[in-house]
Amino acid sequence: MKYLARTLLLLWALVLLCGCGGGERTSTPSAGPPPQGLVIAGNWQFSTTSMAGMPALTIAGSINQSGDAVSGAVHVDGSNCFDQLTTMGWTGTLTGSNISLTSTSVMGQVSTFTGSIVGTAFTGTYAINGGCADGDQGNVTGIRIPLIADQLDGTFTTSGNATFQVVAQLTQGSASSEGSFGITGTATFSTSCFSSGIITSGTLPSGSFIIGTFVALQIETDNGTLAFHGTANQSTGEISGTYGIFGGTCDQTGTAVLVASNSNPWDY
């Protein structure tokens, strides 16, 4: 299973400054809005490019923020030096648009990230000290993945090339302690196997959740469980992947594509 796998708000405050002279009291014109206060909490995915000949890494999970203090819980994919299921904690500081992050020690490895955030994108450098990946360093880019919102319409294609449709209503929850975001909702199907199902929330690695661009859906029907694993593409609004149905009379496997029914499938 691939672990791949949200929220950017721009806070503005208008400040009215008053000045008092010695004698006649005058009002100082408004200074206008102060610099933007960047809020980066949400679902993020990062990709590294090693300058030390090490494999590229995909790092996905949640970032939390309290003022200028930043923390996170992420998972690392792409290297034998990291276990995908091991949560790596982050702590750091956001100063303006500049951010620095240091990880907890994972299998003796401590990772540091330094860079800047513009809009929903991160650009910077990283270095890993200690353990199996000691000496790895290079460039890293990241993107905040928006909330999955509203309705998704899907086409499921069985291994025998038969198709059926699904309409899913999804709600994305808050981050869990290991960095994934639970998904709940309902689904209706155009197949004789079952007519509807409940999307059950979970955390990595089971149930329904999103982490980075990786999306897992577990739908409980009255004739078995449908499990879907896919990758979200925010430029196209599609989530494409594979599925399996088990525990009923219609056990099968195949591929599926879910598409937002509105023009903006991702909600910031």
CATH number of domain containing 192: 2.40.128.120
Average pLDDT over residues 127-139: 97
**Amino acid occupying residue 58:** T
pLDDT bucket at 133, cuts 50 / 70 / 90: very high
Examine residue 244 and state whether it is found in any structural domain, yes or no: yes
Residues 40 and 107 both lie in one domain: yes
In the chain, what percentage of residues exceed pLDDT 90? 77
Query: Cis ω on the peptide bond leading into residue 33 (within 30° of 0)?
Result: no
Distance between CA atoms of residues 142 and 84, nearest Å: 18
Position 103 scores a pLDDT of 98
Residues 208 and 188 in one domain: yes
User: For residue 262, what pLDDT band results from cuts at 50, 70 and 90?
Assistant: low
Which residue, 145, 161, 176, sits at the end of a domain? 145
For residues 98 and 116, the answer to whether their CB atoms sit within 8 Å is yes
Tally the C-alpha atoms within 13 A of residue 33's C-alpha that lie toward its C-beta. Answer: 7
Average pLDDT value for residue range 154-160: 95
User: What rounded mean pLDDT belongs to the chain?
Assistant: 86
| Residue type, position 262, single letter | N
Count of domains forming the chain: 2
In terms of domains, do 15 and 135 share one?
A: yes
Rg (CA), the chain: 22
Range of 107's domain? 9-145
Q: Would the pLDDT of 169 be above 90? A: yes
115 in any annotated domain: yes
Answer yes or no: do 228 and 203 share one domain. yes
The predicted model scores a pTM of 0.83
Which pLDDT score is estimated for 258? Answer: 95
Summarize pLDDT for 51-61 with one digit per residue, the tens: 999 999 999 99
The domain boundary residue, chosen from 94, 122, 145: 145
Alpha-carbon distances, residue 76 vs 49, 56, 88, 154, 235 (angstroms): 14, 10, 8, 29, 24
**Shared-domain flag, residues 151 and 128:** no
- Residue 4 falls inside a structural domain: no
pLDDT of 236 reads 84
Q: How far apart are the C-alpha atoms of 180 and 174, rounded to whole Å? A: 8
pLDDT band of 36, cuts 50, 70, 90: low
pLDDT digits (tens, 9 = 90+) for 222-239: 999 999 999 998 788 899
Per residue, what are the HEC states of 64-120? EEECCEEEEEEEEECCCCCCCCCCEEEEEEEECCEEEEEECCECCEEEEEEEEEECC
